[in-house]
Amino acid sequence: MVSYKNDFSLTTHHLPLTTKEIMRCPFCGNLEDKVVDSREAKDGDSIRRRRECLGCERRFTSYERIDEIPYMVVKKDGRREKFDRSKIMSGLLRASEKRPISATQLEEIVDKVETFVQDSPDRESLTNELGKIIMRELKKLDKVAYVRFASVYLEFEDVSEFMKELKYLVRARRPKKKTDKKTKSDESKTEK
> Of residues 14, 19, 22, 28, which one binds Zn ion by CB under 5 A?
28
Residue type, 5: K
22 contacts Zn ion (rule: CB under 5 A): no
Query: By C-beta, is 11 or 38 nearer to Zn ion?
Result: 11
Helix residue ranges per DSSP H, the chain: 85-95, 103-119, 127-141, 143-153, 159-173, 184-190
Query: By C-beta, is 52 or 68 nearer to Zn ion?
Result: 52
Say whether 69 sits in a helix, a strand or coil.
coil
b vs e for 73-89, b when ≥16 Cβ sit within 10 Å of the residue's Cβ?
A: bbeeeeebeebeeeebb
Q: Residue 31 Cβ, how far from Zn ion at the closest point, in Å?
A: 9
Q: Residue 82 Cβ, how far from Zn ion at the closest point, in Å?
A: 22
Give the pairing of strands 12-14 and 33-40.
Answer: unpaired
56 contacts Zn ion (rule: CB under 5 A): yes
From CA 114, how far away is CA 109, in angstroms rounded? 9
Q: For residue 21, what are the contacts with CB-CB under 8 A and spacing of at least 6?
A: 15
Query: By C-beta, is 31 or 170 nearer to Zn ion?
Result: 31
Query: By C-beta, is 11 or 55 nearer to Zn ion?
Result: 55
55 contacts Zn ion (rule: CB under 5 A): yes
- Say if residues 186 and 172 touch (Cβ distance below 8 Å): no
Give the pairing of strands 33-40 and 124-126.
Answer: unpaired
Choices 17-25, 88-96, 108-116, 139-147; region in contact with Zn ion by CB under 5 A = 17-25
25 contacts Zn ion (rule: CB under 5 A): yes
27 contacts Zn ion (rule: CB under 5 A): yes
30 contacts Zn ion (rule: CB under 5 A): yes
**Contact residues for Zn ion (CB under 5 A)?**
25, 27-28, 30, 53, 55-56
